[in-house]
Amino acid sequence: MSEIILKVTMMDIAKELNINSATVSRALSNHPRISESTKQMVREVAKKLQYQLNKVASSLRSGKSNIIGVIIPNAEINFFGSVLHGIEKIASENKYSILIYQTNELYWFDKIGVQTFLQSQVAGVLASILKETINLDHYSEIKKRGVPLILFEMAVDTLGVSSVVVDDYAGALAATKHLVMQGCKRIAHIGGQQHVSAFKQRLKGYVDALNVLGIQVDDDLVVYGKVSIESGREQMKKLLSLSIIPDAVFSVEDFTALGAMQAIKAANKKIPDDIAIVGFANEPFGEYITPTLSTVNQQTVQMGEEAANLFFKSLNNSDTEKFDPFKMVLQPELICRQSSMKNYKKSDST
């Protein structure tokens, strides 16, 4: 149990077999010009001595590493845990490891994270950049040093790097159309901070859906708040105080939708019969509340997978030619649950 395994190197294997350490290296990496018999012997001794490759030395010598750096705001947030899962899955399949760094949405941390990754000689960086971005110099430094950079969740066109984002506009369009199809006539929108482009796109989708379907957009029915339960509650109260209240709400985000639902219930209105509601983000709780919340799924795991895939593609292409930045836009999925289904079958869900 407590015996200690000493450091064993290729040199040790070479000595044991009276061969050169270069041959050992070649044998272990399955070099074509090494005889099967030698490979066999080397593998046996390696196993006997419990040899483990020293990736640090290997990486230094070859100038290549198989580590990808991932920058996220916070691993505790469901969205990023999911993306991380997707990234690690693909990386793992390609025998790459994942180094993570949390920015906590702070510029300073973000900058240190990038620097640490660069010093660690990562093969690439996958990052979700800050919502409030002042300065992107540290990101262009990644590019300048020849390290592939892929963005997810947010795209920054000026950086000239590939990115994976979800089509917020299409999601909002689908959600709003769905409410119209349910027979809703006065559809309100609780919007988010308009300097966040995703929230702006969702507003645009809402407006365009109504326009396309020949419904006049009523400015009174569009209110703005932050992404929080409290804010949703407040904004909904405003909507409920209108002379003619809405019969549906498309909310920019699930937590805001939750707050709105609380306000609707407090006003003794029925969901979805009096007011139908659709959120955005597919937060896990939506499936468990009463009524269950219709929402838009952002394909988070797929986002991570595609970001990782883009990285591996850029690895292969960089050998031959310049790899053009590619913006991958994932199509979100409308999830219709009780909160927006006027004729839903009552179930025993909570």
What is the nearest approach in angstroms of its own copies to the Cβ of residue 32? 23
Alpha carbon distance, N-terminus to C-terminus of the chain: 51
Q: What are phi and psi of 155, to 5 degrees?
A: -110, 145
User: Judged by CB, which is closer to DNA: 60, or 212?
Assistant: 60
The option from DNA, its own copies, none interacting with 25 (CB < 5 to 8 A, set by class) reads DNA
Chain positions 6 to 65 lying near DNA, rule: CB under 7 A, are 7, 9-11, 18-26, 28-29, 31, 33-35, 37-38, 53-54, 57-58, 60-63
- The yes or no reply on residue 95 touching DNA (CB under 7 A) is no
User: Judged by CB, which is closer to DNA: 55, or 270?
Assistant: 55
The option from DNA, its own copies, none interacting with 18 (CB < 5 to 8 A, set by class) reads DNA
What is the nearest approach in angstroms of its own copies to the Cβ of residue 103? 10
The pairing of beta strand 97-102 with beta strand 67-72: parallel
User: Judged by CB, which is closer to DNA: 10, or 164?
Assistant: 10
Q: Which residues pair with 70 in a beta bridge?
A: 100, 126
The option from DNA, its own copies, none interacting with 11 (CB < 5 to 8 A, set by class) reads DNA
Q: Which residues bind DNA (CB under 7 A)?
A: 7, 9-11, 18-26, 28-29, 31, 33-35, 37-38, 53-54, 57-58, 60-63
